[in-house]
Every structure is written in structure tokens, then in C-alpha cells.
Structure 1
Amino acid sequence: MSTTHEAGWAHASGALRGPAWLRQPSDPNALVAHLWSQTAHKVAGELHVGGLAVPELVANVNTPAYVLDEADFRARARAFRDAFAEYDVFYAGKAFLCTAVARWVQEEGLSLDVCSDGELTVALRAGFDPARIGYHGNNKSQIELRRAVAEGVGRIIVDSFDEIARLESVTAESGTTARVMIRVTAGVEAHTHEYIATAHEDQKFGFSITSGDAFEAVRRVQAAPGIELLGLHSHIGSQIFDSSGFEVAARRVLALQARVSEELGVTLPEMDLGGGFGIAYTTQDDPSDPAQLATEMSKIVEHECRALGIPEPRLSIEPGRAIVGPAMCTVYTVGTVKRVELDGGAVRTYVSVDGGMSDNIRTALYDADYSCTIASRASDAPPVLARVVGKHCEAGDVVVKDEFLPGDIRPGDLVAVPGTGAYCRSMASNYNHALRPPVVAVRDGVARVVVRRETVDDLLATDMGDQ
């Protein structure tokens, strides 16, 4: 459930009641700062981002459109780089990647995760140093591994015995060396959605520590010619708000590292703790500060290594959505407003916009919560509990499940949804043959399109007709 407004509201008498914590806003024109990018604010009801009025911005590019606050993105990247100064910080390409973003990541001193040949292609097109790229994926093909090795990718995160065999073949045929980390499953239940929890046993990623597969993977990689083993990689999930899960995972992974040292005589120089740090989609979310996370995670590793009598490895983390997620909002135009009477006489206001699940599948896929605000004007109308829905032919095409919006919301209004930088454009589709929206980067009053809107020609380019 969601809200863009301040806490401490009271329900309106006779209004449809949302979740228990959802309250009517004392000021429906206000923004809750921690849900938005750092330059976002309102002037006379109009949303401004990056020094530009959003209504003026979208007048030039139309809606729906993703608006990316470059200054905010860079500031968050620097915050993680500085907080984890002794670590390697990897930006998650899967969250959102384009050539411009890859360049920003490199300029701010971060490394980059990719998990497909396409993401690797974008990174290399941007001139990203391949030595600072990590290559994820649970089913990398021989062709993909061959290219990764040839390009000099800094580390390949191996995920299966089949992949180890493929990598042995690739390095043998090329006469080169691949630098790898072994992804292990620590058996930690992260407090997040089932589909984005990745360290419990019953899922597709990694080698199980409990079953012994992780130790066997280390043994095989260590014995393989042409493969240099850097260390172990653990990732417990995504949208995580505290370090408790990392403590359990680090203890189990470092115990495996100590066993490797004792039984195989190998000191692994590196360890990846994963990340997947959460962001604020609603007022209920309370993300941790990067400096706080760095302090807590470093203490965990230091304590465990001391207890096990092993040297501390060089650490790396993957903040995930925490860099790009809050840096972007999506702007829509309202097309229809429908008030539906429910059982008991309550009324729900359905606000239909010109996008939906084709540009943000997360609500339908993960039952994700979002907030929103009117971006084009101020209103003195009493707020109503609304549901923002898309234009697609699906009952589940919901963008924002519950939000208080002004009761005079009408066709032509602009609605902006914050926190859409991660996994929205990257998972966008052509469902109902929709055209995927552009990404417009804004900074210091200047806007530039970094990913253009798709055209009908793009849509038909792969349609071979009746041949």
C-alpha cells in the first residue's frame, strides 16, 4: 500500500478505508522527500526534477516517460563508494542499464554487474573497463562465456557444475585464464518477496553449502587449469532493510572459506556479500544509510574471521536497486476517471493512465507497492482513495494499488510515480503492442533523452509479415 504524503492522517468519515496505516493527507500537494529523488520538489503544485518543471518536460517527449535525476543517481553512487571505501561496489546492470548510465557508473568509481550478453554489450559500448565487470547468470552459454573471457571480464560468477566444465573448455581452447567467483547458497531466508529471495535452498541460484556442493565446486575450480579462483559469492535477496540476514550468511560462507583453507590449503582472496539493499517505495519503508550498512557489515566479517582464525578477504557488495531506484520517476497522463460503488456503499476511484504493466510490471509480478502524486497542478479538493491503473487488457494492470489523490482529479492531469528506476524500464514489454517509453535524464535544468521512445517502425521491425 502506498502514500506520497505525511504520516499522521485521519480517515474521512464514510470514505472507503484502505489499509489501517493509510491516512488522508493534511496537505495533498506535498511530497514526502525520502520517496523521491533529491532534486524533486513542487512549485505551485507542479513537480520539478533536475531543475525542470515536469509538465514542460513531458510536453516535449509525451507520456508515459521515465524521468531520471542524474545528480541523484551520481550522489547515491558516491555515497556507496565512499561508505564502502575498502570494498569493490558493483552497480546492478539488470536494475537499469543504458550507455549513459554505464558511463556514470564508471565515472563515479563503481564496478558493474551484468547478467547477459546484451548487458555486456551495452557496457562495452560505453567504454566500461571490462576488468571492473562481474558476469552473473545461472545458465551462461559456451558462446557467452567465450566472449566474456575474450573481452577480459574481471570476474565470472559460476553457478553450476555444467558452467565450470564449459569454462574449462573455453579457457583450454583459447589458452587464456578466467577469473571466477563461486556463487554459494547460504540457506538464509531473507525477509522479502519469495521471487526476490535468493539464498534459501529451494531456488535456482548457486551451490548449496549444506549439501556439500559448494565445497565440491571450489575443489573442481581450484583443480581446473585456466581458471583462477577469486573467492565465494553470496546473495541473500533483494529489497532488504537490515544486516541481520547478512550476518547469518557471512558466518556460513566464511565457515566454508575456513574449511577450504584447512582442507585444500587455499586462501581465497575475495568475498562478495551481495547486497540488494532496499529503497523507500512508501512511507512504510525505512532504508538503511550506506554508512550504517558499511559499518555493520564490516564488523560482521571482522568478527567472524577473527573467530575462525582466517585472514579477512577483500570484500565486494552489490547495492542493487538502491542507486537507481529512487533516482527515477515515471510520469503518466490521466485518461479516464471512474468511480465504482462497492459493497456497503463505499466508492473507489479508478484513475486510468496511458501506461501500466508494460512499463511497470512489478505491481502485478511482485505485489509491489508504489506511491504517486499529481504532477501538473495544485488542488484544494478533498482527497479520495484512488487506485491508479493502466490501459492494458488485464484486470491486474495496476500501477498504484491505493493512494489518496485530490477528488477533482480529471483527464489530462499528470500523475508521477516515484521509485521506478529499478526493474521498470529494464522489464518493460510490448504487451498489447505498447511502445516502450523513453528515459529522459535531467540535470541542472537540462534534459536529454538517453533511451528514446520506441516507434511503430521498431515494433514492426521483427514482424516478417506473411512471408
Structure 2
Amino acid sequence: MSETDSPAVAAPAVAVAALEENLWPVTARLGPDGVLRIGGVRVDELAAEFGTPAFVLDEADFRARCTGWRRAFEDCDVYYAGKAFLCRAVARWVAEEGLNLDVCTGGELAVARSVGFPAERLLFHGNNKSVAELRAAVAYGVGRIVVDSFAEIDRLAAVAAEAGVRQRVLVRVTPGVEAHTHHYVSTGQEDQKFGFSLAGGAAAEAVERVLAAGSLHLIGLHAHIGSQIFDTAGFGLAAHRMVGLLARIRDTHDLELPELDLGGGLGIAYTSEDAPLEVADVAERLTAVVGKECAAAGLRVPRLGVEPGRAVVGPTTVTLYEVGTVKELPGLRTFVSVDGGMSDNIRTALYDARYTARLASRAGSPAAYVV
């Protein structure tokens, strides 16, 4: 919970509206007793059984969103971005709903392996993959590894040669696009740690190095412009620049790469002020702009890849906390402390993120105080 700048004084009881549809999991309901239920289960009972803080995922909602992305991006590769949230159950749901999985650490890869996630449907990200992680990925037969630096190209080439395989890779490109989001989660601009600069020529050099490595098989390009995005303009500009690079690769190397992954980053609603984009609309716009750019460049349309993470799991999940100390500062505000903090959610401190909160044990009761 967070405080406002308004004085925290006793106020007339204010009726609390029903749960907002776009802010809560689809099965979230207020029972006749005013207690919040998810999937038909009282959340106070979940807190008593599992303790707090606790993440509660609505499986039905998660699966439905996976299906929605798969249907919207038909004939595309949809990778669930495990960095948003990954556990064994989630990995199984992703596999069963027909999505691919994007992992970015050895731990996430281990989770995928533990449930037998099909290796060919895995995409391995990360700007600092260790030799041990690369060996584990190659040994498991990970379908695609996204190379992020010249040092990694050399490391992966050596690991793949050692294993006697030709590893499929994508080159991550920094397209120089402003995503119009918080600068801490904007990853398409030039000055950042991910990928190879398009404008500076590093991306073209990375392509040459991968093509020269006999143990690596370049199958496409990758870009990711940021997170919590509510405007498709940045994706359109990124697509324009990435297709331009695909055309230059064709002209320089007589090679048309078959895949183009434009990452993820679609925003979700944390408060009633947020207006997330509809997945079907994004899919229509993105596939249209890629098709248009490829036609203009005389290229065959590559297989498109997208990587929703937060956009899938975020709306399906709530975090349960228990209220502890309540401290009133007369004439100033009231502080309500809960049994969580930066260890379980750093976003409020790092991004000044805002959330919607309810007293789950009496979510239907009138609000008496501003805190």
C-alpha cells in the first residue's frame, strides 16, 4: 500500500465499488460476506494456509490469456517471457496451452527442464550468460539462443563446437527506438546494456561474426524496446528498422533470414487510469506493418515472434499481504504497514509504481480512511 498527500482523517463511510474487471483476475469475486475470492477460494483462507506475502495466480485466467495470444498471433511464435514469473506449474501451463517459453537464466532453464518443456520451443535470453549456462542450454537442445554481445558469440561458438552441434541463434539488435515508458525499463535506445547497436554498426558486425562461426546457425534477428508500453508506434518504428537490416543482410550476404522477433513489453492495468492495448489489435497492427515493410523491401515475410510476459501473468495475479502496524500522524496521514517490502516488490521504490489495493477480508466494506 502507499500513502497519498491528503491528510488522513476519519471520513464518512464511502461505498467501495465492485471489483474493476481490468484490474483483477477473471474469477475474482466478492462473496456475500465481502471477502475476496479467486477461483472460488477465499483469499483469507489462502493466507492462513500459505502465509504472507503470497502470490496467488488464477490458473483459468492465465490459460485463457495464453490462448488469446496464440489465437491473435496465429502463424507466429509466441514466447511466454519467464522473467515475468516462472514456476513449475506456470511452465506446464505454458506448454499445455501451446506457447513457447523464453528463459533468461540457468535457473529458469532448470525449471523448464524439470517439467520436460520441449527444448525446441525454448528461447534463451540474457546479456551475461555464463559458459555453464550456455553448455546447459546447448546440451538440452534449446531451440534458439539470443546472442547479446561479441564475447557471447565467441563463448557460444566454442561451446557449440565442443558439443558437436550447430546452434540456432538470433542476434539481438538495439534499434534506437524510444518506447515512451519509464526510462528504467526502456531497452530500445542506444545507451543501454542489451544487444548490438543498429546505428553504430555493431549489429551488422555481429551478423558477420555469427555467419563466420561454423558452429552457429543464424536464423533471425531480435529486438525489444521496453516494458509497460501503451502505444504501438514504437513497435512500428522498430519493425521498420529491423526489416531494413534484414534487407541489408540479404543484399550483403545473399541471405534472407526466416525469423524476426520483436520482443514484448505491452503494458497492463495496475490502476483504473491505465489503458492497456487489446492483444488482437496489436497483433493486427504489428503483422500489417511487418508485411508492408517487407513488401517495400522486396523480402519474404519472416516468421514473427513476440514475447508477452507481464501481459499474460500480471492481470492473473494478486499479492496477499497482512496488515500489521497502523500509525496515525494527526493532521498529516496514516501509515499502514504490511508484511512485505522491496524483497517481494521493488517496483514502487524503483519506478514509483502505483497499485490498486483492497482489504481482501472485507473488500466490500465502506472505506473510512485515506491512507
Matched letter for residue 206 of structure 2: A
Q: TM-score, normalised by structure 1?
A: 0.75
Paired residue for 1:350? Answer: 335
Aligned to 1:191, what secondary structure does the other structure show?
Answer: coil
Q: C-alpha separation between the residues in 1 aligned to 2:6 and 2:349?
A: 26
Does the CA-based 8 Å contact 1:83-1:291 persist in structure 2? yes
Q: C-alpha separation between the residues in 1 aligned to 2:200 and 2:211?
A: 19
Aligned to 1:73, what secondary structure does the other structure show?
Answer: helix
Paired residue for 1:89? Answer: 78
Does the CA-based 8 Å contact 1:233-1:273 persist in structure 2? yes
Paired residue for 1:226? Answer: 215
Aligned to 2:370, what secondary structure does the other structure show?
Answer: strand
Paired residue for 2:146? Answer: 157
Instruction: Within 5 Å, give how 1:9-408 maps onto structure 2.
Output: 16=7, 27-28=15-16, 30-43=18-31, 44-341=33-330, 345=331, 347-377=332-362, 381-386=366-371
Does the CA-based 8 Å contact 2:226-2:265 persist in structure 1? yes
Deviation above 3 Å: which 4+ runs of structure 1? 14-17, 378-383
Q: CA deviation at 1:66?
A: 1.5
RMSD: 2.1
Q: C-alpha separation between the residues in 2 aligned to 1:78 and 1:56?
A: 30
Q: C-alpha separation between the residues in 2 aligned to 1:352 and 1:2?
A: 9
Does the CA-based 8 Å contact 2:25-2:316 persist in structure 1? yes
- Matched-pair identity in %: 57
Q: C-alpha separation between the residues in 2 aligned to 1:356 and 1:382?
A: 24
Q: C-alpha separation between the residues in 1 aligned to 2:51 and 2:131?
A: 42
Does the CA-based 8 Å contact 1:29-1:45 persist in structure 2? no
Q: C-alpha separation between the residues in 2 aligned to 1:359 and 1:123?
A: 22
Matched letter for residue 16 of structure 1: P
Residues 330 and 224 (structure 1 numbering): CA distance in 2 closer, same or farther, change over 3 Å? Answer: same
- Identify which range, 113-122 or 170-179, moves more after superposition: 170-179
For each residue in 1:118-153, what CA deviation from the matched residue of structure 2 results, as whole angstroms up to 9, or x when unmatched?
A: 110010001100110000011112222122111100
Q: CA deviation at 1:333?
A: 1.5
Where in structure 2 are there 5+ consecutive unaligned residues?
none
Q: Which has the higher contact order (CA 8 A, sep 6+)?
A: 2
More helix as a share of residues = 2
Q: CA deviation at 1:385?
A: 2.0
Q: C-alpha separation between the residues in 1 aligned to 2:228 and 2:367?
A: 34
For each residue in 1:194-238, what CA deviation from the matched residue of structure 2 results, as whole angstroms up to 9, or x when unmatched?
A: 111111000000000001110111111112101111110010011
Instruction: Within 5 Å, give how 1:420-439 maps onto structure 2.
Output: none
Residues 52 and 310 (structure 1 numbering): CA distance in 2 closer, same or farther, change over 3 Å? Answer: same
Q: C-alpha separation between the residues in 1 aligned to 2:116 and 2:367?
A: 52
Q: C-alpha separation between the residues in 1 aligned to 2:196 and 2:112?
A: 28
Matched letter for residue 89 of structure 1: V
Q: CA deviation at 1:242?
A: 2.1
Q: C-alpha separation between the residues in 2 aligned to 1:171 and 1:15?
A: 60
Q: CA deviation at 1:348?
A: 1.3
Q: C-alpha separation between the residues in 2 aligned to 1:90 and 1:82?
A: 13
Does the CA-based 8 Å contact 1:334-1:354 persist in structure 2? yes
Q: CA deviation at 1:16?
A: 3.3
Q: CA deviation at 1:349?
A: 1.6
Q: CA deviation at 1:95?
A: 0.9
Residues 377 and 88 (structure 1 numbering): CA distance in 2 closer, same or farther, change over 3 Å? Answer: same
For each residue in 1:398-431, what CA deviation from the matched residue of structure 2 results, as whole angstroms up to 9, or x when unmatched?
A: xxxxxxxxxxxxxxxxxxxxxxxxxxxxxxxxxx
Matched letter for residue 28 of structure 1: V
Q: C-alpha separation between the residues in 1 aligned to 2:42 and 2:82?
A: 29
Q: CA deviation at 1:255?
A: 0.3
Q: C-alpha separation between the residues in 2 aligned to 1:62 and 1:208?
A: 46
Residues 331 and 184 (structure 1 numbering): CA distance in 2 closer, same or farther, change over 3 Å? Answer: same
Q: CA deviation at 1:31?
A: 1.6
